């Protein structure tokens, strides 16, 4: 009987344990739930962005304090006797591995094809460049300020100096113990926050999936593909092959032993958890070749944790996100930006990507909100990063241990073969990625359709377009222009029909633009209709003198020369002088010095009045060619043939480049060289001018001019966005 009862009691006392999901699994679930939520609810998920921002802020909270404590404590623990020799060999190996990462980063831009891209006017075109304090970034004159400003390179250098100084202090155990205690407390806080990762990733992914367009998602794959390919080429190719060339070990054995750590780091998403395995793997490698021993194993036990705090290849390669972001936004980084990006990026990667990427985005003058995209992609990228870090630490430890034990061998023939084969593999990979991304991103440009389809903000009054001719109702004896406008109930307004973004015909052949919107506002408040009369800038004074129109509203520059021809209103807007050039020639026109060094330079200009004496002084040897329209320059027709550049305002030039994205706006002129836009009116009548001046003042203060500026110049709201596709809207039809 007792034997019968014994079995069920054993079953009850030892129930099968349920496997709990780990953080990486929960994060993956959060990722897919976020994608599903975004696809289901669409733009309704935009509200989750603030919660995603809060999670990112919490992640960044403890990173810098943890860097300070771990670096100072880790370096300070070393003893003076062995630290110099170990540090010397380890630094040489680190430099070799970091050089591989730098070369890889420099090659990554070749994977991104040239995009057809242009954008509305941005104030960054004319703002003076930010002064960069290079010394302040790297020299910690005030470490506390460096901490407050997230200047990671300066913080790291400070920690390296302090940690090195502690090595030679005899009574350092208490201090090291305190640092370890504080570091552990920071680690616990971080672990508490990391537990929120599945929820944070859900909010970020839901917001991104609900608001990103298909074109944006298509471009985002560029970063994922480039990073994944680089991880496999380095982790399974170059790193173990380098170990085979420089050590007694064979490539197959290095790859066979290191792959378990690679896979585990990828599965868990954390290289920290594989450090014990890495130590045992390296020991096993030396034992298999009968090169082990107590001294070797002691070296290995020090090297793995010593190499861990330093930037690894996986982390350094995330710098490619900055390169990708610049390409994604249509403003690829220039060659002179790479040394600073790589130098500052190296030090910033002593911390986590939650610190380094925002810092590098700001350094490269890229939008900080792109970090949200990084967080989304980092759910996958972080796994590859940690997997590559595991292989990196394995090879670093093997190479450094061999160097310390005098086992390092240089097989120059094999090294040459490795270099050539790596170059071939890299070229094939870069060409393949570039070809695919070029195909995937073709036909993605749509800004030309945006500006061509823009509508008036408010179509307030009846308006007709008439042929150029004198006013059909001549002024009566003693009558003012203002009186005639009130008598007829019509105001005649002159406009240039091809003058983006001030006045032009959209794709529906409707007359639109900044000043057309303002004309409707003025006529509405005067209680009259509009007759629009076409004009050309070269005949403005003549047409106004012949009474073709009462007022001209078409992005007209107010200069002293023009004032001698006609009266005009107070300025309603100031614009910035610029040049428009083929995008491949932007560097040639970057400065006045480079421009004035060119011979036989021919620059087109539609409005000759814009060529003030100041401009002629700045460009004394340039031949200016009169154009009937800016379009002649862009299409190479008429007087626009064989021109080197177009002289325009940066605001108008940016609008034209939306239609012709192979051109680019450059601003070589002094930053304070802006010019006023005015509304010319008949000089015989002062009352009309007073009315318009007062009206402009009112519109400046009630936000009307600013609203028109945001829409027509900055392009805010210009794209007629349809609601994002979503299941709840397009499949279930639960909402409109």
| 529: phi then psi, degrees, rounded to nearest 5 | -90, 175
Residue 640 DSSP code: G
604, 636 contact by CB (below 8 A): no
Q: Which residue has the higher pLDDT, 580 or 412?
A: 580
Catalogue the E-assigned strands of 360-501. Answer: 463-465, 490-495, 498-499
Average pLDDT, the chain: 83
Query: How far, in whole angstroms, is CA 459 from its chain's centroid?
Result: 37
**Angle formed by the axes of helices 320-328 and 353-363, to 10°?**
50
pLDDT given for residue 308 in this prediction: 74
Tell whether the model's pLDDT for residue 11 goes beyond 50: no
- Per-residue pLDDT band for 651 (boundaries 50, 70, 90) equals very high
**How big is the chain, counted in residues?**
736
699, 521 contact by CB (below 8 A): yes
pLDDT in tens, 131-150: 556 676 677 788 888 777 76
Query: How far, in whole angstroms, is CA 182 from its chain's centroid?
Result: 36
| 649: phi then psi, degrees, rounded to nearest 5 | -80, 150
pLDDT given for residue 7 in this prediction: 39
Q: Highest mean pLDDT: which of 23-32, 46-55, 417-426, 665-674?
A: 417-426
Q: 138: number of CA atoms within 13 Å, CB side?
A: 10
pLDDT given for residue 5 in this prediction: 42
pLDDT given for residue 3 in this prediction: 41
Q: Highest mean pLDDT: which of 296-310, 558-572, 704-718?
A: 704-718
CB-based contacts of 703, cutoff 8 Å, min separation 6 = none
Among all chains, which residue has been given the structure tokens 């679930």? 29
Tell whether the model's pLDDT for residue 9 goes beyond 50: no
Q: How far apart are CA 235 and CA 384, in angstroms?
A: 10
Number of neighbouring beta carbons within 10 Å of residue 448: 16
Residue 23 CB burial class (10 angstroms; 0-12, 13-18, ≥19): middle
Q: How far apart are CA 666 and CA 631, in angstroms?
A: 18
Find the mean pLDDT for residues 707-712: 94
Number of neighbouring beta carbons within 10 Å of residue 18: 6
CB-based contacts of 334, cutoff 8 Å, min separation 6 = none
- Per-residue pLDDT band for 721 (boundaries 50, 70, 90) equals low
pLDDT given for residue 356 in this prediction: 82
Tell whether the model's pLDDT for residue 571 goes beyond 80: yes
pLDDT given for residue 116 in this prediction: 73
Q: Are strands 623-626 and 602-605 parallel, antiparallel or unpaired?
A: parallel
Average the pLDDT over each of 126-130, 525-529, 662-666, 679-683 and give the range with the smallest value.
Answer: 126-130
Find the mean pLDDT for residues 529-541: 91
- Per-residue pLDDT band for 1 (boundaries 50, 70, 90) equals very low
- Per-residue pLDDT band for 177 (boundaries 50, 70, 90) equals confident
pLDDT in tens, 49-106: 888 878 767 766 776 786 677 668 767 776 666 667 777 888 899 999 999 999 999 9
Number of neighbouring beta carbons within 10 Å of residue 68: 23
In the chain, % of residues over pLDDT 90:
35
Find the mean pLDDT for residues 185-209: 79
Query: How far, in whole angstroms, is CA 268 from its chain's centroid?
Result: 30
Quick one: tokens of 632? 């002649």
**Angle formed by the axes of helices 214-233 and 371-404, to 10°?**
0
228, 384 contact by CB (below 8 A): yes
Tell whether the model's pLDDT for residue 335 goes beyond 90: no
pLDDT given for residue 13 in this prediction: 46
Q: Which among 445, 464, 450 is positioned nearest to 712, based on CA atoms?
A: 450
540, 608 contact by CB (below 8 A): no
pLDDT given for residue 2 in this prediction: 40
Domains, the chain: 37-447 (1.10.3860), 454-571+682-713 (3.40.190.10), 576-677 (3.40.190.10)
Q: Which residue has the higher pLDDT, 253 or 608?
A: 253
Quick one: tokens of 74? 């880790």
pTM exceeds 0.75 for this model: no
CB-based contacts of 23, cutoff 8 Å, min separation 6 = 194, 195, 197, 198, 269
110, 437 contact by CB (below 8 A): no
pLDDT given for residue 396 in this prediction: 92
Find the mean pLDDT for residues 394-404: 91
In the chain, % of residues over pLDDT 70:
87
Alpha helices (H) in 494-600, listed in sequence order: 514-526, 540-545, 560-563, 592-596
pLDDT given for residue 133 in this prediction: 63
- What are all long-range contacts of 409-413, with beta carbons under 8 Å and residues at least 24 apart? 409/246, 409/247, 409/248, 410/245, 410/246, 411/245, 411/246
- Per-residue pLDDT band for 15 (boundaries 50, 70, 90) equals low
Catalogue the E-assigned strands of 535-638. Answer: 551-552, 556-557, 567-568, 573-582, 602-605, 623-626
pLDDT given for residue 703 in this prediction: 93
pLDDT given for residue 404 in this prediction: 85
Number of neighbouring beta carbons within 10 Å of residue 598: 13
- Per-residue pLDDT band for 4 (boundaries 50, 70, 90) equals very low
Find the mean pLDDT for residues 634-644: 91
Tell whether the model's pLDDT for residue 311 goes beyond 70: yes
Find the mean pLDDT for residues 157-161: 81
Q: How far apart are CA 711 and CA 67, in angstroms?
A: 45
């Amino acid at each position: 009987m007792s034997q019968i009862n014994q079995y069920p009691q054993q079953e009850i006392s030892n129930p099968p344990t349920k496997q709990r999901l780990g953080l990486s699994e929960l994060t993956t679930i959060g990722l897919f739930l976020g994608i599903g939520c975004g696809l289901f609810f669409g733009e309704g998920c935009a509200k989750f962005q603030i919660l995603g921002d809060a999670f990112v802020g919490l992640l960044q909270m403890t990173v810098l304090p943890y860097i300070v404590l771990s670096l100072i404590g880790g370096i300070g623990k070393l003893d003076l006797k062995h630290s110099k020799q170990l540090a010397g060999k380890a630094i040489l190996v680190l430099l070799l591995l970091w050089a591989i990462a730098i070369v890889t980063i420099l090659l990554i831009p070749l994977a991104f094809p040239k995009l057809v891209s242009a954008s509305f006017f941005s104030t960054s075109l004319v703002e003076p460049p930010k002064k960069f304090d290079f010394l302040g970034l790297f020299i910690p004159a005030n470490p506390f300020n460096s901490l407050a400003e997230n200047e990671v390179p300066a913080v790291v250098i400070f920690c390296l100096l302090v940690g090195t100084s502690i090595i030679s202090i005899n009574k350092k155990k208490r201090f090291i113990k305190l640092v370890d205690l504080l570091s552990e407390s920071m680690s616990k806080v971080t672990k508490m926050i990391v537990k929120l990762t599945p929820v944070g990733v859900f909010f970020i992914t839901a917001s991104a999936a609900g608001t990103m367009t298909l074109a944006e998602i298509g471009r985002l794959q560029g970063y994922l593909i480039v990073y994944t390919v680089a991880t496999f080429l380095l982790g399974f190719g170059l790193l173990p092959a380098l170990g085979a060339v420089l050590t007694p070990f064979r490539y197959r054995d290095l790859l066979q032993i290191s792959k378990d750590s690679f896979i585990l780091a990828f599965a868990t998403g954390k290289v920290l958890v594989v450090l014990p395995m890495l130590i045992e793997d390296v020991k096993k490698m030396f034992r298999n070749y009968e090169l082990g021993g107590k001294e070797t194993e002691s070296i290995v036990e020090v090297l793995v944790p010593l190499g861990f705090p330093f930037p690894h290849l996986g982390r350094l390669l995330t710098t490619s996100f900055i390169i990708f972001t610049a390409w994604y936004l249509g403003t690829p980084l220039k060659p002179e930006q790479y040394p600073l990006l790589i130098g500052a990026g190296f030090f910033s990667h002593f911390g986590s990507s939650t610190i380094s990427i925002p810092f590098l985005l700001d350094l490269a003058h890229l939008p900080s909100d792109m970090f949200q995209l990084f967080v989304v992609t980092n759910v996958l990228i972080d796994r590859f990063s940690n997997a590559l870090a595991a292989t990196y630490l394995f090879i670093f430890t093997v190479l450094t241990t061999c160097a310390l034990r005098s086992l390092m061998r240089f097989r120059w023939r094999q090294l040459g073969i490795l270099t050539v084969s790596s170059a071939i593999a890299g070229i094939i990979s870069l060409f393949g990625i570039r070809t695919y991304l070029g195909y995937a991103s073709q036909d993605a440009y749509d800004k030309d359709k945006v500006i061509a389809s823009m509508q008036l903000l408010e179509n307030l009054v009846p308006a007709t377009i008439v042929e150029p001719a004198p006013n059909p109702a001549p002024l009566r004896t003693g009558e003012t222009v203002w009186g005639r406008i009130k008598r007829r109930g019509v105001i005649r307004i002159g406009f240039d029909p091809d003058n983006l973004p001030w006045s032009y015909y959209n794709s529906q052949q409707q007359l639109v633009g900044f000043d057309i919107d303002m004309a409707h506002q003025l006529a509405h408040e005067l209680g009259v209709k509009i007759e629009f009369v076409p004009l050309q800038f070269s005949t403005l004074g003549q047409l106004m003198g012949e009474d073709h129109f009462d007022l001209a509203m078409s992005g007209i520059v107010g200069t002293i020369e023009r004032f001698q021809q006609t009266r005009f209103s107070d300025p309603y807007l100031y614009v910035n002088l610029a040049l428009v050039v083929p995008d491949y020639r932007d560097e040639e026109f970057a400065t006045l010095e480079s421009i004035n060094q060119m011979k036989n330079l021919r620059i087109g200009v539609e409005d000759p009045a814009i060529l003030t004496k100041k401009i002629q002084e700045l460009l004394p040897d340039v031949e200016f060619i009169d154009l009937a329209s800016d379009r002649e320059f862009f299409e190479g027709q008429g007087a626009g043939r064989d021109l080197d550049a177009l002289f325009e305002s940066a605001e108008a030039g940016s609008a034209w480049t939306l239609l012709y994205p192979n051109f680019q706006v450059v601003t070589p002129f002094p930053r304070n060289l802006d010019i006023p836009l005015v509304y010319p009116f008949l000089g015989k009548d002062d009352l009309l001018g007073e009315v318009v001046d007062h009206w402009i003042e009112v519109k400046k203060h009630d936000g009307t001019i600013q609203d028109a500026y945001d829409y027509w110049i900055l392009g805010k709201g210009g794209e007629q966005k349809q609601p994002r596709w979503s299941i709840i809207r397009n499949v279930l039809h639960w909402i409109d």
